[in-house]
Amino acid sequence: MLIGEYEHSIDPKGRIIMPSKLREGLGERFIVTKGLDGCLFAYSLTEWTNFENKLNALPLTSKEARMFVRSFFAGAIECEVDKQGRILISANLREYAKLEKDVIITGVSTRVEIWSKERLKDNENNEEISPDEIAEKMSMFGI
């Protein structure tokens, strides 16, 4: 399980340190792609295959499904951890997630989210509903 929150910086070449605790769950090679809410998602190769199978099951006849699938596959890259524990984030993914200096890396169960520190704070501050209201809505999913 991927858990925890870590703060790092992105270097001028677009490299970030992937925390060792998260590397253990992701493996030495994993997939990074555009996520939701303006962050990046990172999946272990096993979890990516599971996610890929779900995406491939979506109906090709649905424009929304095609757009959703395209958004995840088009920008996806396979990352490999270097000897210093860093990964290289491609320019298009850095631009999408607005990764410029301070980065927050969070473990979210089966994936890792990579955020611009500023964007994550903005996202948390601009939520239209409170955590209590979110919890109430989660009851619809049996949580």
Residue 135, pLDDT > 90, answer no
Note the pLDDT of residue 131.
65
Mean pLDDT, the chain, rounded, equals: 90
Q: At 107, is the pLDDT very low, low, confident or very high (cuts 50, 70, 90)?
A: very high
Neighbours of 25 (CB within 10 A): 18
| Span 59-73, average pLDDT | 90
Half-sphere exposure of 36 (CA within 13 A, CB side): 4
Contacts of 104 (CB under 8 A, 6+ apart): 5, 6, 7, 114, 115, 116, 117, 120
Residue 142: pLDDT over 70: no
Percent of the chain with pLDDT strictly greater than 70: 89
So what's the architecture of 2-117 in CATH?
3-Layer(aba) Sandwich (3.40)
How confident is the model at residue 115, as a pLDDT?
Answer: 96
> Does residue 21 register a pLDDT over 90?
yes
- What order of strands is seen across the sheet that includes strand 111-116? 2-9, 102-109, 111-116, 40-44, 29-34, 77-80
Do residues 14 and 103 touch, judged by C-beta distance below 8 A? no
Query: CA 29 → CA 62, 73, 80, 116, distances in Å?
Result: 32, 17, 4, 22
Q: Per-residue pLDDT for 138 more than 80?
A: no
CB atoms under 10 Å from CB of 19, counted, come to 19
Those residues whose C-beta lies under 8 Å from the C-beta of residue 84, and which sit 6 or more positions away, are 17
**In which band, very low, low, confident or very high, does the pLDDT at 63 lie, cut at 50, 70 and 90?**
very high
> Which pLDDT value is given to residue 75?
86
Model pLDDT, residue 126: 67
Give CA torsion, residues 66, 99, 27, 68, to 10 deg.
Answer: -10
Structure pTM? Answer: 0.87
At residue 41 the predicted structure's pLDDT band, cuts being 50, 70 and 90, is very high
- For the chain, give the number of residues: 143
